[in-house]
Amino acid sequence: MQARIAKLPYLPTIAPQYHDADDVEEREEAMSTLAALPKMLPPGPRESSRRTALRQVDAPDLSQYSPISASGYFVQAMNVKIESRGIEVRAYYSPPVVQDPAASDEPTTVMVCHHGAGYSGLSFACFAKEVVEHSKGECGVLAFDVRRHGKTRPLEGQSDENLDIETLTEDLVALLTTLFPDPNTSSTLLFVGHSMGSAVCVRACPVLQEMHYKISGVAVLDVVEGSALDALPIMMGLLDSRPDGFPSVEEAIQWHINTHTLRNPFSARIAVPSIFVQSPDSNSAHEWVWRTPLRSTAPYWTSWFKSLSSKFLACRTARLLVLAGTDRLDKELMIGQMQGKFQMEVVPDVGHMLHEDNPRKIAQVLVEFWKRNERVVIGVKKVGEL
C-alpha cells in the first residue's frame, strides 16, 4: 500500500478565501470540551416521504448551506482494512512532496490529524490544504475517521462500539503501522490531536517511538485536562439543548453556523455532511440524524481526559498546546509552562473547532512548529527538550 501511495501525483492547492464571523460570542466552555458528531457525505435522495413532502411547502432557500465536496482538499481518500482491529478505516491523505526526486532518502514529514468526539477526518480538510500550501508541499497530511465515526466501518461480524482510550490508541497505532510498515523508511510523524483526539495522540506517541518510528512533535488543540474534567458533570444538560436531527443536511449545516458551533461556513459545508446519516426509521421526525450521538459516548469521557496533562508533558518530543482563547491551565500544565516544557499559542476569534474556524492561522502555527523542530539546526534544543 505504501508503494501505491508513493506513486500518487501531487496536486497543487489553491487556498480558498475564508471569512471569519465578526464579534461572535464565545461558546460555553463546557460545551467546547467535546464536539458535535459525525457521519458520511450524504447519499442520493430517498424516495419521497411524508417528511419530504411537508418540507417542500414554503421551504426556505438553503442553497448557501449546500454541501461542498472534499475531493479537492486531499490528494486521495482510501479505505484501510485492519483485520487485527476489526475495522475498515476511512483515511484522507496528501503525501509530502520530495523536493529532489533524485534524493530517494530525503526525509519527509506527515502530520497525523486525529479528530475529536463526534466529528470526522474531514474537519481537517481546509487545514490540510493550508498546510500543503504553507509548507510548499514538503509536509504531508493524514486525517481519518475513528471507529464509529464518519465512513469508518466495522468488518463483517465485528463491533465498533467500544470507544475507550486504549481501543482508540491501538486503532491509531495499527493504522499507522499498516500505512507505514517500516519505521526505517517511514516519514517522520507529527501528531495533531483535537480535543479527544489529543488524548489518543499523546498515548500513541511513546508506543510508536518504542517501535522506532520518528516523532517530531505532538500538538494538542483546544483541550486542557482540568477544564475538560470539570465540565463533564454538566455535559448531559448541555446536550439536551441540541436537536436530535434535521430535515436536511443543509439545515444541519445552517444550525452549526447559526449557533456558532462552526464559525467558518465554507468548512462547515465540507465537514458537517460527514457527521450525519439518514435515519433508518422512516417514521422518525428527523430525516438526518447524528452519526455518533455524543450521549452514547458518555461512559468514555473520563478515560479520554484523565492524565492528559501528564502524558502530554511526558512525550519525548516537541510539544505544542494551541488554545481558542485564554483557557485556564491546570496546575500541571502551569508548572510545565513555567519550566518551558511546551510551546503554547492562543488564537483569538475562534471557537472550539479552531482548525475549522481559522484553518489558515492554525496551519501557519503548525507549519512553523514543524519547521522549528523537524528542521532544527544541529545543536539547538527542540521545544520541550530541557
60-74 per-position pLDDT tens digit: 789 999 999 999 999
State the pLDDT at residue 107: 84
The string of pLDDT tens digits covering residues 180-196 is: 999 999 999 999 999 99
Q: Is the whole-model pTM more than 0.75?
A: yes
The string of pLDDT tens digits covering residues 197-237 is: 999 999 999 999 999 999 999 999 999 999 999 999 999 98
C-alpha cell at 325: 482563547
N residues, the chain: 386
The string of pLDDT tens digits covering residues 7-20 is: 343 333 333 333 44
The string of pLDDT tens digits covering residues 136-166 is: 999 999 999 999 999 999 999 999 999 999 9
- Count of CB atoms within 10 A of residue 373's CB? 24
Can you name the residues that pair with 192 across neighbouring β-strands? 113, 219
Catalytic member of 149, 286, 352, 355: 352
Residue 368 has pLDDT above 50, yes or no: yes
State the pLDDT at residue 282: 83
Catalytic member of 145, 160, 171, 222: 222
Residue 267 has pLDDT above 80, yes or no: yes
C-alpha cell at 169: 490508541
Is residue 195 annotated as part of the catalytic site, yes or no?
yes
The string of pLDDT tens digits covering residues 279-297 is: 998 888 999 999 999 999 9
Mean pLDDT of 110-132: 98
Residue 257 has pLDDT above 70, yes or no: yes
Catalytic member of 120, 195, 227, 309: 195
Can you name the residues that pair with 323 across neighbouring β-strands? 346
Is residue 352 annotated as part of the catalytic site, yes or no?
yes
State the pLDDT at residue 375: 58
Residues ≥6 apart with Cβ < 8 Å to 51: 247, 285, 287
Distance set, CA 236 to CA 39, 232, 337, 383 (Å): 21, 8, 32, 38
CA–chain centroid gap for 200, Å, is: 11
Q: How confident is the model at residue 106 (pLDDT cuts 50, 70, 90)?
A: confident
Residue 50 has pLDDT above 50, yes or no: no
C-alpha cell at 271: 465537514
State the pLDDT at residue 279: 94
Residue 40 has pLDDT above 80, yes or no: no
Could you tell me whether strands 76-82 and 87-94 are parallel, antiparallel, or unpaired per DSSP bridges?
A: antiparallel
Angle at 290 between CA 244 and CA 287, to 5 degrees: 70
Residue 223: exposed, middle, or buried by beta-carbon count in 10 A (0-12, 13-18, 19+)?
A: buried
